[in-house]
Structure 1
Amino acid sequence: MSDPNVPQSNVANAASDNEPFTVQRGSGNVFADLGFADADTMALKSSLAIRLAELIKQRKMTQTDAARITGIDQPNLSRVLRGKLKDFSSDRLVKALNLLEADIEITVSTRGQKIGDTIVLASTAAETAW
């Protein structure tokens, strides 16, 4: 039985009825493709959260350890790692990455031409043996 709160896919219905359907290439930003007004912000925050999760996993840290270092309490860190990002700014996620000794590099360009030097938001954390 299907969940009445979940929209049913038109693609699945069309395929089952042997009617043609259109496949459309995405833009590279799933949030824009779904029509979210703040799609760029959502894409940035989700990318930062993915990097945060990868770093925690790479370092074999517990959420409790990562929470202590980043200053994000463990329940909120758990929410971030599950993609619940509405209460977190991209600045806060960058700060958490920096506190875990990750550098962030930002490149500004227009029409494929780089403008100025790459901006490096260098980690301010003390060296730690992981």
Structure 2
Amino acid sequence: MSTTTMDDEESGPVIGSGDFLADRGYNETGSLRLRILMANEIALIAEARGLTQKDVASRTGLSQSDVSRIVNRLVRDFSTDRLMRALTSLGKDVRIAWSDAKHHEGSIVVDASDSPEEERAYAL
């Protein structure tokens, strides 16, 4: 696999594996991807409701600097539990469910839909 950088003579696209996080050296891509999805949802809630970082901090019990890191997707040091609690403080239900796998090995999928009609599922 080759990559092209902006410093190369020929400017062109960067060719990756298709996994943005793995290409950047992150080992725990599933867990990190889940935390990034939750951080993105927190940022979207704040934007949709016109909330400042200080507003989000007061509603979630987080510090303003933690909220800043979350909305900027710098979530390596945040646990999944802490981000789930922030989402519930902002009025979101967080559901964890499992079912029998259709194949020999199961998969992990995050369903970020607000309703059954809406589909926003992400494979981890």
1:123 match: none
2:115 match: none
2:18 match: 26
Percentage of matched positions with identical amino acids: 30
In the alignment, does 2:4 pair up with 1:11? yes
> Contact 1:32–1:40 at 8 Å: present in 2 too?
no
Q: Work out which of the residue numbers 65, 74, 77 in structure 1 matches 2:67.
A: 77
The TM-score with structure 2 as length reference comes to: 0.65
Q: Which structure would you say has the larger Rg? A: 1
Gap change, CA 1:25 and 1:94, over 3 Å in 2:
same
In the alignment, does 2:44 pair up with 1:59? no
The TM-score with structure 1 as length reference comes to: 0.63
| Structure 1 unaligned spans of 5+ | 1-8, 115-130
2:82 match: secondary structure: helix
How far does residue 86 in structure 1 lie from its aligned partner after superposition? 1.9
1:105 match: secondary structure: coil
Moved over 4 A (4+): 21-25
User: RCO (CA 8 Å, sep 6+): is it higher in 1 or 2?
Assistant: 2
Gap change, CA 1:26 and 1:91, over 3 Å in 2:
same
Gap change, CA 1:22 and 1:87, over 3 Å in 2:
closer
**Structure 2: how far apart are the matches of 1:95 and 1:69?**
11
1:101 match: 91
> Contact 2:3–2:16 at 8 Å: present in 1 too?
no
| Structure 2 unaligned spans of 5+ | 107-124
Q: Report the AA paired with residue 26 of structure 1.
A: G
